[in-house]
Amino acid sequence: MIKHSKVKTIAAVASACAALFAAAPASAYVYAVSKLEIKDLDIGIVPAGAANTAINDVGAASNYTFNLTNTASFTPIGGVTATDSGGGSCTGQVLPSPSTLCNNSGGPILGAKVANAPGLLSLRAEDNFAILGSNNTQSYSNADSEITTAKLVNLDGTKTNTVQIAESLLNVNGTAKANTEVKSTTTLLTSIFTTSDTDLYVSFEALLTLKGNIAESSGGVYTSSAGSNVTFTLSNNITGDEWTWNPSGNTATNNCVDQDDVVAANCTELNDGGNLNVTRSRSFNPSGYDASFDSFKSFGLKIANLAAGSYSLSLQATTTTSVDRLHVPEPGSLALAGLALLGLGAVSRRSRKQ
């Protein structure tokens, strides 16, 4: 009987200790979100020196490819990572005659399945890009993305609009990550101009929401991180010459570079309204960060005097979050666990005497 009681006591103490380390205290969480909206993305190709107007646009784009990838994962302490993912792609052409495998019947041009990390709440519904925010009871990690409209698909004056979000919240111990990636590649054929060069213009507006918090009531190991990356790349398909642009919000520096020069002499930023290539993180409690825009910001680029030839223009945009949480019970709770263990030792000694 004593032996059976001892076993029950060991189980009770073990269960209590496990609960202390796993349970989340009230008003405790680690949170991160990165959401990027791009609207009115326009690509203009005009004769060198001409104004960037619709009437001057030579319409040299020939084909396009769109890709979306969403992933979300959760790793419990001592457990195995579980991941959910969703993605999609579509292609089309403008020349010699328009055709597309993308959706152009009134819905989004391309939507990827939402990713909700297994083992946590599946809070994000398909095509719902609302910011869920932090709370003291729920845990989730999710990602979604969509190309709402695209100029080269609609061919009716509509410009390109995209939206993507990665968001993670932990009220339990573990690691959660979320990631979205939007890729768009457009092939530009300027070989139709054999006697003059062309100028390429890129313009769009963007709204970035990037922030996170660590709000714990006691000690532990915590990390909150969120990031955004936006890169435009123009490549000459024959010579391999390449220009890249990473908008940073620094109007004093030309962020357009090529593979041969530090700064591309024929590449000029027209607008650089904010930093779209930013990562923020915190690892102490309590703490927070916020690199969000207060409104849509304008961005613009001009690459002048492109020689006749075949070019590819690509946009790659990523939003990421990563949160880690290892909550350590408060000293009072640890003291109670210690008393329970001492009691177990006393029971053990008494049983040996008997």
Tell me the whole-structure pTM to 2 decimals.
0.86
- Asked if residue 165 and residue 298 are part of one domain, the reply reads yes
Structural element, H or E, at residue 343:
helix 331-353
For residue 321, give the amino acid letter: T
Task: State the Cα–Cα distance between residues 45 and 189, nearest whole angstrom.
Answer: 10
Place of tokens 């302490």: 77
Q: pLDDT of 86-107, one tens digit each?
A: 999 999 999 889 999 999 888 8
**Of 241, 229, 285, 298, which is closest to residue 39 (Cα–Cα)?**
298
- Asked if residue 101 and residue 14 are part of one domain, the reply reads no
Collapsed DSSP state (helix, strand, coil) of residue 349: helix
Residue 338 is predicted with a pLDDT of: 46
Q: pLDDT of 220-268, one tens digit each?
A: 999 999 999 999 999 989 888 899 999 999 888 888 888 776 555 688 9
Place of tokens 């269960």: 15
Between 15-24, 190-199, 204-213, 298-307, the lowest mean confidence (pLDDT) is in 15-24
**Of 214, 181, 37, which is closest to residue 115 (Cα–Cα)?**
181
- Asked if residue 55 and residue 179 are part of one domain, the reply reads yes
Strand runs (DSSP E) across the chain, as ranges? 29-47, 61-76, 82-93, 99-100, 110-111, 115-116, 140-149, 160-170, 174-189, 198-215, 220-236, 242-245, 256-258, 267-272, 278-282, 287-290, 297-306, 310-327
- Asked if residue 9 and residue 86 are part of one domain, the reply reads no
- Asked if residue 319 and residue 344 are part of one domain, the reply reads no
- Asked if residue 279 and residue 195 are part of one domain, the reply reads yes
* Domain containing residue 111: 26-329
- Asked if residue 262 and residue 341 are part of one domain, the reply reads no
Residue 27 is predicted with a pLDDT of: 55
- Asked if residue 193 and residue 124 are part of one domain, the reply reads yes
- Asked if residue 142 and residue 290 are part of one domain, the reply reads yes
- Asked if residue 206 and residue 345 are part of one domain, the reply reads no
Pair 341, 223: CB distance under 8 Å = no
